[in-house]
Amino acid sequence: MPSNSTGKAVIFSAPSGSGKTTIVRRLLEDAQLNLAFSVSATTRPPRGKEVHGHDYYFLSSDEFNAQIASGGLVEWEEVYPGKFYGTLTSELNRLWDAGKTVVFDVDVVGGANLREKLGERALAIFIQAPSLDVLRERLERRGTETPARVEERMAKAQWEMRQQGKFDRVLVNDQLDDACAAAKEWVHAHTEETPLL
């Protein structure tokens, strides 16, 4: 577990197409919130211009397994067959030692796992589209998914929606500015709380 005893964290999880990453980016731009993004570790290869240590920590399967064995991961999961993702304890400590509130942009399983591991130090926010129809429309509008992939994501989204009870707050992203304002208010309230000694 992380060595820092007072650091706070905010976890954002959502079905694909809910607008999670857009909301997280907006919050990270607000200097008053004093947030820092947690870079995840993965065994998948870099895509495009992704940079090690900035987009992800790209680890080999052996390196990832060594981190699991040594307790070097706060949480991890096999998201796709042979493709592992996780949160390095060293990354969390690095950001907490810098006095930052750590922000996670993770899938629903990862978010629930982090919430459980970090306890009251974490605020877990589940973001959802106003309806499954709107979610489908957003995925189709991206133009990056095949029809079969959209159906896969929709099936997964229905399961993910049933997991929202594992989160502290549910944020319906209908109007982006309103959703960002609500998220900012919740994050501010969480980070201003005095930690229990």
In a domain, residue 120? The reply is yes
Is the predicted pLDDT of residue 196 greater than 90, yes or no? no
Q: How far apart are CA 43 and CA 61, in angstroms?
A: 6
In a domain, residue 143? The reply is yes
pLDDT-derived band at 197 (thresholds 50, 70, 90) equals very low
Nearest CA to 27 among 46, 8, 41, 10?
A: 10
At 78 the three-state DSSP class reads strand
Residue 153 pLDDT: 85
CATH, residue 142: 3.40.50.300
DSSP 128: E
Count of H helices and E strands in the chain?
A: 7, 9
Q: How far is CA 71 from its chain centroid?
A: 20
Round to the nearest angstrom and report the end-to-end CA distance of the chain. 17
Q: Which domain holds residue 152?
A: 9-192
Helix axes 147-161, 132-142, angle to 10 degrees: 140
Residue 73 pLDDT: 95
In a domain, residue 46? The reply is yes
As a whole number, mean pLDDT of residues 10-19 equals: 92
In a domain, residue 1? The reply is no
Is the predicted pLDDT of residue 117 greater than 80, yes or no? yes
Which H helix or E strand runs over 148?
helix 147-161
Residue 146 pLDDT: 87
In the chain, the number of structural domains is: 1
In a domain, residue 4? The reply is no
Mean of all residue pLDDT scores within the chain = 91
Contacts (Cβ under 8 Å, ≥6 apart) of 147: none
Is the predicted pLDDT of residue 24 greater than 60, yes or no? yes
Residue 195 pLDDT: 52
As a whole number, mean pLDDT of residues 172-189 equals: 95
In a domain, residue 3? The reply is no
Residue 4 pLDDT: 61
As a whole number, mean pLDDT of residues 136-145 equals: 85
